[in-house]
C-alpha cells in the first residue's frame, strides 16, 4: 500500500520527527511504500496542481498543537484530490481528540503512542479487514465515532527497528552533520505547562511509563546512523536523560570507547551535580541545556510545579561551567501571577548564572496541560490560542494575561530581556524600540479594557 506521511512541521530544522520516523520504519518493515511531505520542505509539492501528480492509498498526518490549525487547509486539498482516508496522530489528537476527529477532512485519529496501532490499521486497510476495532484509533463510521480503548505501552524499546532516517535526509543535510536521537520514552516530572502529566494519566495502569532502550541497543543505533550519514554531532533529545543515572553510566562507558562524537543533553538543575557533569564532559558532551523558567521561587514551585531553589539553579550552572560545558538556559514570561517584579527576578537570576545561551519565550497554554485548565478557570486566555502556530516566532503576542499584566505588557517584557541580556548592540536597540512600543500599547489597552485579569489568591 502506498502511504503519504505528512508532517505538519512548519520550520526547516536539522531535527527529524522521531515519532514519525519510528512509525515509518515499522511500516517499511511490513512492506508498505512510503513518501514524505512536510509543510516546511515541500511547499511546491503541496500546491494542488502538483499534488495531482501523485497517488496514495492513505494519508498519515503527524502534528503538534502548535501546527494543527496551520495545516488544516492542506487536508482539504488531500481529501479533494486523493479521496482516501486521512489518519491524524501526534500530540494534538491525543489531547484534543473530539476537536480533531470532528474536522470533516479527518477520517480517523490515533491517540497516544502509535507505533503498533498505525501499523495494524494500515495492514487491515490493505487487506480489506475491519479497521474500526484497532486500539488507540478513533474512527468515523456511518455518522458515528467509534472510540477504541488505549493498548498497553510497548515496554521493550529494543523490539522496535531503528527510526527511518532516509525519509528525513533533507533535515540531516540542513543540520550539516548534526542530528537528533532519543533513547527513551516518558518523563518522571509533572510540569504544569507540559502534557507529560496528561500522558501519565492516559497510560495509568497500562504498563511501565518510563522506558529506555538498553545501552547496547542505543549504541547500535548510533553506529547505524554513522554508517549511513556523515554525522559529527548528536543532540540527545530525551527530556531528562541525566535522571537515569545508572543507565547513563552504562551507556557512556560504551560511548566513550566506540562512538566518541560530541553531543548535547537536556537536564534538570536539581540533577546536575559534580558526578553527572564530570561524567558528561569525560564522555564527549560539550553542551548541557537546563530550564530555569522563572526566577521567582513561588511561581516556579506553585504555578509551574518546578521544585528547586534559586541556589540549586546557580549551583548547577556553576558546576556545568566548571567542567567546560556550554550552558543553555530556558525561560518563560507571561506566567499566571507574574508581574514586572517577578520577570525582573528571572532576568536577574539569568544575569547571575550567565549561561552561554539564554532562551526565553512567552508561556503558551497548550491543550491538555494543567496550566491551560488554570488559565481557563481564571479567565486569563484573552487571545486566540489557534494562532499559536509558529514555534520559531519569539517576539509575538501570547494568548494569556497573567492577572498582573496584559498581553502587550508581557511582550514588552520580552523586549526588556533583549535590552538587559543581549550583547549584540543592534538587538539591544531593537529591544528598546519594542519595549517602549508595547509598553505604551499595554498602558492604553489596560486603561481602556482592564484586560490584565485578576487571580484571586487562596484566602482572599
Phi, psi of 261 (to 5 degrees): -120, 140
Angle formed by the axes of helices 274-282 and 310-322, nearest 10°: 30
Q: What is the DSSP letter of 430?
A: H
**Positive or negative, the Cα torsion across 61, 62, 63, 67?**
negative
C-alpha pair distances (Å), 281 with each of 231, 253, 261, 276, 286:
19, 12, 12, 9, 6
C-alpha pair distances (Å), 448 with each of 14, 441, 443:
45, 11, 9
Query: Does residue 456 have a pLDDT over 70?
Result: no
Instruction: Please tell me which residue, 76 or 443, carries the higher pLDDT value.
Output: 76
Predicted confidence band at 388 (pLDDT cuts at 50, 70, 90)?
low
* pLDDT, position 227: 97
Q: C-alpha cell of 373?
A: 485548565
Query: Does residue 394 have a pLDDT over 70?
Result: no
Predicted confidence band at 459 (pLDDT cuts at 50, 70, 90)?
very low
Predicted confidence band at 399 (pLDDT cuts at 50, 70, 90)?
confident
Work out the end-to-end distance of the chain between its first and last CA atoms, rounded to an integer number of angstroms: 62
CB 450 within 8 A of CB 444: no
Query: Does residue 393 have a pLDDT over 80?
Result: no
* pLDDT, position 454: 52
Predicted confidence band at 72 (pLDDT cuts at 50, 70, 90)?
very high
The average confidence (pLDDT) of the chain is 93
pLDDT in tens, 168-179: 999 999 999 999
* pLDDT, position 397: 84
Query: Does residue 259 have a pLDDT over 60?
Result: yes
Q: In the chain, list all ranges with CATH 3.80.30.20.
A: 178-449
Q: What would be the CATH architecture of the domain defined by 2-147?
A: 3-Layer(aba) Sandwich (3.40)
pLDDT in tens, 260-302: 999 999 999 999 999 999 999 999 999 999 999 999 999 999 9
pLDDT in tens, 202-251: 999 999 999 999 999 999 999 999 999 999 999 999 989 999 999 999 99
Helix H or strand E segment including 422: none
Q: C-alpha cell of 238?
A: 530525551
CB 192 within 8 A of CB 147: no
Phi, psi of 249 (to 5 degrees): -60, -45
Query: Does residue 455 have a pLDDT over 90?
Result: no
Query: Does residue 411 have a pLDDT over 90?
Result: yes
Q: In the chain, list all ranges with CATH 3.40.50.280.
A: 2-147
pLDDT in tens, 336-362: 999 999 999 999 999 999 999 999 999
Query: Does residue 457 have a pLDDT over 80?
Result: no
* CATH number corresponding to 178-449: 3.80.30.20
* pLDDT, position 449: 67
pLDDT in tens, 101-143: 999 999 999 999 999 999 999 999 999 999 999 999 999 999 8
Query: Does residue 197 have a pLDDT over 90?
Result: yes
pLDDT in tens, 53-66: 999 999 999 999 98
* pLDDT, position 382: 87
How large a percentage of the chain has pLDDT more than 70?
96
Residues 6+ apart with CB under 8 A from 127: none
Amino acid at each position: 500500500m502506498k502511504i503519504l506521511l505528512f508532517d505538519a512541521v512548519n520550520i526547516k530544522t536539522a531535527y527529524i520527527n522521531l515519532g514519525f520516523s519510528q512509525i515509518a520504519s515499522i511500516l517499511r518493515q511490513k512492506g508498505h511504500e512510503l513518501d514524505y511531505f512536510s509543510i516546511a520542505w515541500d511547499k511546491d509539492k503541496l500546491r494542488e496542481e502538483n499534488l495531482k501528480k501523485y497517488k496514495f492509498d492513505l494519508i498519515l498526518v503527524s502534528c503538534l498543537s502548535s501546527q494543527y490549525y496551520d495545516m488544516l487547509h492542506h487536508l482539504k486539498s488531500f481529501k479533494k484530490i486523493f479521496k482516501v482516508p486521512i489518519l491524524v496522530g501526534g500530540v494534538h489528537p491525543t489531547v484534543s481528540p473530539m476537536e480533531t476527529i470532528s474536522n470533516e477532512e479527518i477520517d480517523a485519529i490515533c491517540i497516544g503512542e502509535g507505533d503498533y496501532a498505525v501499523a495494524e490499521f494500515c495492514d487491515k486497510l490493505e487487506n480489506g479487514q475491519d479497521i474500526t476495532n484497532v486500539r488507540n484509533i478513533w474512527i468515523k463510521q456511518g455518522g458515528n465515532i467509534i472510540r477504541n480503548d488505549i493498548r498497553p505501552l510497548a515496554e521493550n524499546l529494543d523490539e522496535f527497528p531503528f527510526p527511518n532516517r532516509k525519509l528525513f535526509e533533507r533535515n540531516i543535510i540542513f543540520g550539516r552533520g548534526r542530528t537528533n536521537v532519543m533513547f527513551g520514552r516518558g518523563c518522571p516530572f509533572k510540569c504544569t505547562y507540559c502534557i507529560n502529566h496528561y500522558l501519565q494519566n492516559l497510560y495509568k495502569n497500562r504498563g511501565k511509563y518510563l522506558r529506555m532502550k538498553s545501552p547496547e541497543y542505543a549504541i547500535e543505533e548510533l553506529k547505524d546512523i554513522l554508517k549511513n550519514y556523515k554525522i559529527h554531532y548528536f543532540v540527545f533529545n530525551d527530556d531528562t536523560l541525566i535522571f537515569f543515572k545508572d543507565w547513563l553510566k552504562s551507556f557512556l562507558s560504551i560511548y566513550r570507547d566506540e562512538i566518541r562524537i560530541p553531543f548535547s543533553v537536556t537536564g534538570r538543575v536539581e540533577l546536575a551535580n559534580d558526578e553527572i557533569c564530570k561524567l558528561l564532559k569525560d564522555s564527549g558532551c560539550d553542551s548541557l541545556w537546563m530550564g530555569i523558567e522563572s526566577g521567582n521561587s513561588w511561581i516556579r514551585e506553585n504555578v509551574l510545579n518546578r521544585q528547586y531553589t534559586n541556589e540549586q539553579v546557580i549551583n548547577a550552572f556553576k558546576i556545568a561551567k566548571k567542567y567546560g560545558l556550554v550552558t543553555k538556559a530556558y525561560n518563560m514570561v507571561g506566567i499566571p501571577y507574574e508581574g514586572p517584579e517577578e520577570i525582573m527576578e528571572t532576568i536577574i537570576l539569568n544575569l547571575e548564572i550567565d549561561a552561554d545561551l539564554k532562551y526565553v519565550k512567552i508561556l503558551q497554554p497548550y491543550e491538555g496541560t494543567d496550566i491551560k485548565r488554570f488559565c481557563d478557570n481564571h479567565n486569563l486566555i484573552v487571545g486566540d490560542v489557534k494562532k499559536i502556530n509558529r514555534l520559531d516566532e519569539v517576539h509575538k503576542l501570547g494568548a494569556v494575561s497573567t492577572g498582573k499584566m496584559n498581553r502587550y505588557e508581557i511582550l514588552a517584557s520580552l523586549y526588556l530581556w533583549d535590552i538587559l541580556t543581549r550583547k549584540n548592540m543592534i538587538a539591544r536597540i531593537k529591544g528598546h524600540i519594542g519595549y517602549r512600543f508595547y509598553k505604551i500599547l499595554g498602558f492604553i489597552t489596560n486603561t481602556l479594557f482592564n484586560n490584565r485579569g485578576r487571580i484571586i489568591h487562596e484566602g482572599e
